[in-house]
Chain A
Amino acid sequence: MRRFTLIALPYLWLLGLFLVPFLIVLKISLSDLNLSIPPYMPQLDISAGWSGLMDFFSELDFENFVWLTEDDLYWKAYLSSLKIAVVATFLTLLVGYPVAYGMARAPSEWRPTLMMLVILPFWSSFLIRVYSWMGILSNEGFLNQFLLWTGIISEPLQIMNTTTAVYIGIVYTYLPFMILPIYSALEKMDDSLLEAAEDLGCSRLKAFWLITFPLSRAGMIAGCFLVFIPSIGEFVIPSLLGGSDTLMIGKVLWEEFFNNRDWPVASAVAVVLLMILVIPIILFQRNEQKQREAEG
């Protein structure tokens, strides 16, 4: 009995806080727009009994999903989000790997401090941190002022309100999620492996490529998923730093919901986004499992 309760608790949690909300969103995505509160129909009328329930289900349809395929805004937004997420993930990997490597190679008494520095940004609000990038990147921002002062440029660079700014924002925000798993993979590595590789005829660079790199692969994969999954649905960064040409599905969803007040279409967008994300999430889980088995 106690065992059952123990297992039941997390399942009830998931049921109440994940499955039920998802079913509500799914239901709205199958409904039609209506000028009322809430702004969609049909509403479930329990007092009408069995026939009411049948009426309710007969009015649900996939119209909104069909609409998503008809207007090219949506698939373009999905594709563009996918592209931005892939590129941003790759950039985060490029920045994060050397940082993680440096941390793992640092004297062990420094490591807790370095780790602290990586985590420290989480102590202030995400929104504030993205806002401060506006102060850095805008035409009158610190970056342009600095570059103008050094004389490298004579005209301020237009970074703010471009996709570049979105990349900068995503890389900055999700960098710790990339660094930490790579660091933990590198830190576990036995230094004598590199000595052994060198002893067997490798140069330092070759030893890195043949030993360090493959041994940190699981960490890199984990880091990439942890960056890719949230950044594909990212809304705050593109809406604050991006311009009109930055098309991301999170932003489309927000506009659909709050500007157009079209809850059913917004819900359909969300359901499709979730479907798209299920694939990398499953792959991520599989990578974690494989890693655990290898360490077995």
Chain B
Amino acid sequence: MAANGASVFAPWDDPDQTPLIRFENVTKRFGDFTAIDNLSLDIYAREFFALLGPSGCGKTTMMRMLAGFETPTEGKIYIGGQDMGPIAPNQRPVNMMFQSYALFPHLSVYENIAFGLRRDGQPKDKIEARVEDMLRMVRLQKFAKRKPHQISGGQRQRVALARSLAKEPKLLLLDEPLGALDAKLREDTQFELMDIQEKTGTTFVIVTHDQEEAMTVASRIAVMDEGRIMQVATPDRIYEFPENAYVADFIGDVNLIEGTATPSGEDEVTIAWAENQQPIRAKTQRKLATGQKVFYAIRPEKVGIFKEEPTDVVNKAKGRILDIAYLGNLSTYHVQMPTGEIIKAQSANTRRIARRPFTWEEEVWVSWNGTGGSVLED
């Protein structure tokens, strides 16, 4: 990558780029149930795009429509500028890695990977070379002759990946690809996936309900709920600048404080949120009306916790420690206000636990600055 900042991979910010995939007002209904609700979305070539949401949010339906197993009830899907409406799954430049891996149990690892290549009627030596390449890529050369039931779950996952990449698809769909792996293996595999994605230059679209996984691997994330996209952005923007309470709440841990807004100057607002508490002062680009109901979202790690009343801070509140969650490297303190609201504050455990400065039932102050949180409209 060149040293200048211009080469940062962000085709979505470049109006001259044409997307590889375009969802145009796509709606999908199953009977009375609307799985996808008038959804438009652009995904660019070489992206590692994550569809993130709880089960039943429509993310799998989106993926199955890309693969061609479902057809949109309304709207159009384009891949590489071509309308995918009339194109059967076996004619699309798309391959899919299934959640269950869907390895053919009667075929060896080698034959599984060669399956798609054989269907294209490629010459034998070319197929052989390609399968060998794939086996090397996923480090399974030694297992080529084994049947799927003779290898481990992690190895099966890699066979599935190799099989779906063997035909060099323009677009690879991954349906909860790491769901069946244990935590440690999952982490390793995430990095392996990113590595392979970068090496092959294939566009990846991954479906997952695991926000950490999406944050780790994706160039952009679409957070979905009930058939709609709640926000599409890079992982850091999703985390730092959620556009609505749903996204703020879904991704990571957050304090969501409800209050009434009063604009108080250029890009600034004060939010009255609890009796006898100093109103929150926050920066925001939103144009808010006086008296409008808003949510103020702030991450626990951006909230400091103090024994004495801090000075020189924009926002502060006094409360009592209700609970302490010890996470090893971090501790999360649940601080209850006299009016009942709970604000979570997180701090790094730089000292051993025996020397922790705070304990249960203690009166403490929490504070945060004006730019740490986001003001969200209801």
Contact = CB atoms under 8 A, between A and B. Distances in A.
Interface of A: 190, 192-193, 195-203, 206, 211, 214-215, 294-296
18 contacts: A190-B100, A190-B102, A192-B99, A195-B69, A195-B96, A198-B89, A199-B90, A200-B116, A200-B167, A201-B90, A201-B116, A201-B119, A202-B90, A202-B119, A211-B104, A294-B147, A295-B149, A296-B149
Task: Tell me the dominant secondary structure on chain A's binding face.
Answer: helix
A203 B136 CA distance: 29
B131 to A, nearest CB: 13
A296 B148 CA distance: 12
A199 B63 CA distance: 13
B98 A195 contact: yes
A196 B102 contact: yes
Contacts of B355: none
Given A193-B102, A202-B90, 13 more contacts: A192-B99, A192-B102, A193-B104, A195-B96, A195-B98, A198-B69, A200-B116, A200-B167, A201-B119, A201-B167, A206-B119, A215-B106, A296-B149
A54 to B, nearest CB: 59
Contacts of A296: 149
A195 B94 CA distance: 13
B62 to A, nearest CB: 16
Interface in B71-116: 88-90, 94-96, 98-100, 102, 104-106, 115-116
Contacts of A190: 100, 102
A294 B88 CA distance: 33
B322 to A, nearest CB: 47
A199 B96 contact: yes
A295 B149 CA distance: 8
B57 interface: no
Which 10 A-B pairs rank lowest in CB-CB distance, beginning with the nearest?
A: A200-B116, A201-B119, A196-B102, A192-B102, A198-B89, A199-B96, A201-B90, A192-B98, A214-B106, A198-B90
A193 B119 CA distance: 15
A269 to B, nearest CB: 41
Interface in B146-169: 147, 149, 163-164, 167
A161 B105 CA distance: 47
Given A206-B119, A294-B149, A296-B149, A199 B89 contact: yes
B95 A200 contact: yes
Contacts of B149: 294-296
A195 B89 CA distance: 9
B105 A215 contact: yes
Contacts of B119: 200-202, 206
Interface of B: 67, 69, 88-90, 94-96, 98-100, 102, 104-106, 115-116, 119-120, 147, 149, 163-164, 167
A212 B281 CA distance: 65
A30 B164 CA distance: 67
Contacts of B102: 190, 192-193, 195-196
Given A201-B120, A201-B167, A202-B119, A196 B96 contact: yes
Contacts of A206: 119
Contact of A197 (B69, B88, B105, B115): B115
B106 A199 contact: no
A196 B167 contact: no
A156 B376 CA distance: 86
A202 B92 CA distance: 11
A195 B116 CA distance: 12
B106 A196 contact: no
A214 B88 CA distance: 24
A203 B68 CA distance: 13
A216 B89 CA distance: 24
A115 B139 CA distance: 46
A193 B101 CA distance: 9
A199 B147 CA distance: 21
A213 to B, nearest CB: 10
Nearest to B175: A192
A198 B102 CA distance: 12
A206 B149 CA distance: 24
B94 to A, nearest CB: 8
A63 to B, nearest CB: 51
Contacts of B69: 195, 198
B100 A200 contact: no
A194 to B, nearest CB: 9
A199 B67 contact: yes
Contacts of B90: 198-203
A192 B164 CA distance: 14
A197 B119 CA distance: 10
Contacts of B164: 199
Contacts of B100: 190, 192
B122 to A, nearest CB: 11
A193 B107 CA distance: 12
A241 to B, nearest CB: 39
A225 to B, nearest CB: 20
Contact of A199 (B95, B99, B105, B120): B95
A214 B106 CA distance: 7
A190 B99 CA distance: 12
A201 to B, nearest CB: 4
A218 B185 CA distance: 35
A10 B90 CA distance: 54
Nearest to B116: A200
A86 B356 CA distance: 83
A200 B89 CA distance: 8
A106 to B, nearest CB: 19
Nearest to B92: A199
Nearest to B69: A195
A248 B163 CA distance: 53
Contacts of A195: 67, 69, 89, 96, 98, 102
A231 to B, nearest CB: 29
Contacts of B147: 294
B29 to A, nearest CB: 19
A164 to B, nearest CB: 37
A55 B100 CA distance: 72
